[in-house]
């Protein structure tokens, strides 16, 4: 008997058909991959499985019993746990409270705090050394996105009666070691007959963990089969509906004068020390483990975090500044946390693309909607943003398309220094190659870029030089052509 059987599911949002006649079957103890480009319908299907949305037509069976959860809590009570790409956490609750939410151990109606903390600690330890160091009483509001992801995964793992685990881009914020630990845990769960639905854009990771797959495109099921029967190139073509040129050849670059200089820069907490020089026409990669201080470095440069010491020089400007002043100085930042600080999700695509520079859309500072729309449509076409039109609320877009909107805003603002924190997180394979080519194009136009990425392969591929952040301290930048993944990982871990 199948653990989960989905039969001819349809789902529409107004005139937009998100899913059409989708069927699949998952066996007990199977790790099953669901693949597709951004906007293909993967997240909508996962939301239906998790009780966050309801299908219009079609049916589902869970272990042979009718399954149609009205709410997420109904899904959890039936043994379905989910980890979303953007973690759904209660910001003002602690790590322990978020992990145990709705499943608090009680005795005579009283929550057993000590028992609960032991369960949480066990779940976090299963995810690796960094997760095990998280303070159980720390508010999730103050955790970096990568740590929030670990909390969300721990919440799924702590569910003792879990029968079906849904992982929606679970590795997008995790470092290499944490990914390996997560995969080990998934394999152990599969050995206990727990089924896993694995959604990811990283095809090499999919092959390591899953046996069978389904590909969605434009809300429809394109094909299902065994991963061993298809190549990555064939999978990409199935997802895109066309042959995709996803290889990237970096052009020759000649860096110019320095645009950004740091000397022993120190933040209020992190980084502890960062010295670097970023030049025109250069891509500087920053590697490091989750929690090493990579994101804090970017935030300190852009003015989101306080600078506690050292020197910082942007072009001719010396010293810290507010984000608004940094934008005026030609510095733009793409945040890794697009949900909370990268985008105004309730606003339209047009508003999000243009809100950093609302000039030139009409006389006397007025904004003429048709002018704003024309400009936005150009960026929608250039970045291949999948949306109904420029007026669609950004919250309705897939995570990868939201990332393109955030990147489009920096392109529209035409900054000189790009601070890109995980620029390809949640982006499909073909779009990732497009972003690589865009980064190369910007470098050719003598823009300066710092790229933080958890993918060491990505950094080696796109960067001129790479520096490694370890325990809050930034090491010297070295030519990317002299580096490989093992050496970078060894430097990041101190091994």
Q: Summarize pLDDT for 467-480 with one digit per residue, the tens.
A: 999 999 999 999 99
Tell whether 454 and 481 lie within a shared domain: yes
**Does residue 289 belong to any structural domain of this protein?**
yes
Tell whether 235 and 263 lie within a shared domain: no
**Does residue 248 belong to any structural domain of this protein?**
no
**Does residue 246 belong to any structural domain of this protein?**
no
Tell whether 360 and 472 lie within a shared domain: yes
Tell whether 236 and 263 lie within a shared domain: no
pTM: 0.77
Domain hosting residue 271, numbered range? 258-493
Tell whether 139 and 213 lie within a shared domain: yes
Number of domains in the chain: 2
**Does residue 251 belong to any structural domain of this protein?**
no
**Does residue 245 belong to any structural domain of this protein?**
no
**Does residue 107 belong to any structural domain of this protein?**
yes
Tell whether 231 and 273 lie within a shared domain: no
**Does residue 381 belong to any structural domain of this protein?**
yes
Among 192, 208, 240, give the residue marking a domain's end.
Answer: 240
Tell whether 129 and 164 lie within a shared domain: yes
Tell whether 276 and 206 lie within a shared domain: no
Residues 6+ apart with CB under 8 A from 249: none
Rounded (10°) angle between helices 429-444 and 399-413: 10
The CATH code of the domain that includes 117 is: 3.40.50.300
Tell whether 295 and 444 lie within a shared domain: yes
Pairing of strands 195-199, 164-168: parallel
Task: Pick out the chain residues at pLDDT < 50.
Answer: none
Tell whether 420 and 458 lie within a shared domain: yes
**Does residue 332 belong to any structural domain of this protein?**
yes
42: tokens are: 């993967």
Among 240, 269, 284, give the residue marking a domain's end.
Answer: 240
pLDDT of 246: 53
Tell whether 228 and 279 lie within a shared domain: no
Tell whether 91 and 234 lie within a shared domain: yes
pLDDT of 147: 86
**CA–CA dist 131, 340 (Å, integer):** 22
Among 205, 240, 275, give the residue marking a domain's end.
Answer: 240
């Amino acid at each position: 008997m199948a653990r989960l059987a989905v039969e001819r599911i349809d789902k529409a949002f107004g005139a937009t058909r998100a899913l059409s006649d989708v069927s699949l079957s998952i066996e007990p103890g199977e790790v099953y991959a669901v693949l597709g480009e951004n906007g293909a319908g993967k997240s909508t299907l996962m939301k239906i499985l998790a009780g966050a949305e309801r299908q219009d037509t079609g049916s589902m069976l869970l272990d042979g019993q009718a399954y149609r959860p009205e709410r997420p809590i109904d899904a959890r009570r039936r043994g379905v746990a989910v980890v979303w790409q953007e973690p759904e956490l209660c910001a003002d609750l602690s790590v322990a409270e978020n992990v145990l939410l709705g499943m608090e151990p009680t005795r005579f109606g009283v929550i057993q705090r000590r028992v609960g903390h032991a369960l949480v600690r066990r779940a976090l330890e299963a995810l690796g050394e960094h997760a095990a160091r998280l303070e159980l009483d720390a508010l999730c509001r103050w955790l970096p996105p990568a740590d929030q992801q670990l909390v969300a995964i721990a919440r799924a793992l702590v569910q003792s009666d879990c029968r079906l685990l849904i992982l929606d881009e679970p590795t997008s914020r995790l470092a290499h070691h944490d990914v390996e630990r997560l995969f080990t845990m998934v394999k152990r769960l599969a050995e206990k007959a727990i089924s896993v639905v694995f959604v990811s854009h990283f095809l090499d990771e999919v092959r390591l963990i899953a046996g069978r797959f389904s590909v969605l495109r434009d809300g429809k099921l394109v094909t299902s089969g065994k991963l061993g029967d298809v190549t990555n190139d064939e999978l990409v073509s199935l997802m895109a509906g066309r042959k995709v040129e996803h290889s990237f050849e970096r052009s020759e670059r000649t860096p110019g004068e320095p645009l950004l200089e740091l000397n022993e820069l120190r933040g209020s907490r992190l980084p502890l020390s960062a010295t670097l020089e970023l030049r025109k026409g250069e891509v500087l990669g920053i590697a490091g483990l989750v929690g090493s201080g990579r994101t804090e470095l970017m935030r300190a440069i852009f003015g989101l975090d306080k600078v506690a010491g050292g020197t910082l020089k942007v072009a001719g400007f010396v010293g810290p500044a507010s984000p608004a002043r940094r934008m005026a100085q030609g510095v733009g930042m793409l945040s890794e946390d697009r949900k909370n600080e990268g985008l105004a999700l309730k606003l339209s695509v047009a508003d999000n693309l243009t809100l950093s520079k609302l000039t030139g859309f009409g006389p006397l500072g007025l904004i003429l909607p048709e002018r704003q729309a024309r400009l936005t449509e150009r960026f929608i076409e250039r970045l291949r943003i999948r949306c109904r039109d420029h007026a669609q609320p950004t919250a309705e877009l897939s995570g990868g398309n939201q990332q393109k909107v955030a990147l489009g805003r920096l392109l529209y603002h035409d900054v000189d220094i790009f601070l890109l924190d995980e620029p390809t997180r949640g982006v499909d394979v073909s779009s990732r190659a497009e972003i690589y080519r865009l980064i190369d194009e910007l470098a050719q136009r003598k823009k300066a870029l710092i790229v933080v990425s958890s993918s060491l392969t990505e950094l080696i591929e796109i960067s001129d030089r790479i520096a490694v952040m370890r325990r809050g301290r930034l090491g010297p930048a070295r030519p990317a052509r002299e580096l490989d993944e093992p050496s970078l990982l060894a430097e990041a871990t101190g091994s």
